Amino acid sequence: MSSRVSTDQGLTNRADRRLPDVLFEDLCFDAQQAAEKALKAVLISGGRRFPRTHDLAELLHLVAAMGLDLPPEVLEAKRLTPYAVAGARTRCGVTAG
């Protein structure tokens, strides 16, 4: 597993560990995918073009450039970017690293 994924203490501290058969990385992968799709939907609705990317910081920058005021909680989504690839690897049985 990638060290950048396993060392995000802020996300880990907020994770609910009562489900032993659910991987934290899978939850973060799902959250990353949801954030990515939501940001791309905002860009599409605003008629904006965007590159093929999983980088949430880049997508957040493009949304902010539309003049939208993004709350701090939304801006924190960029922390999920490393899980875009790592989560896909754990789902396929490949360890990241």
- CB-based contacts of 57, cutoff 8 Å, min separation 6: 78, 81
Read off the pLDDT of residues 1-18 as tens digits, 9 standing for 90 and up. Answer: 444 444 455 555 555 556
DSSP 8-class letter at 72 = H
DSSP state of 9: H
- pTM of structure: 0.71
For 56-91, what is each residue's pLDDT tens digit? Answer: 999 999 999 999 999 999 999 999 999 998 655 555
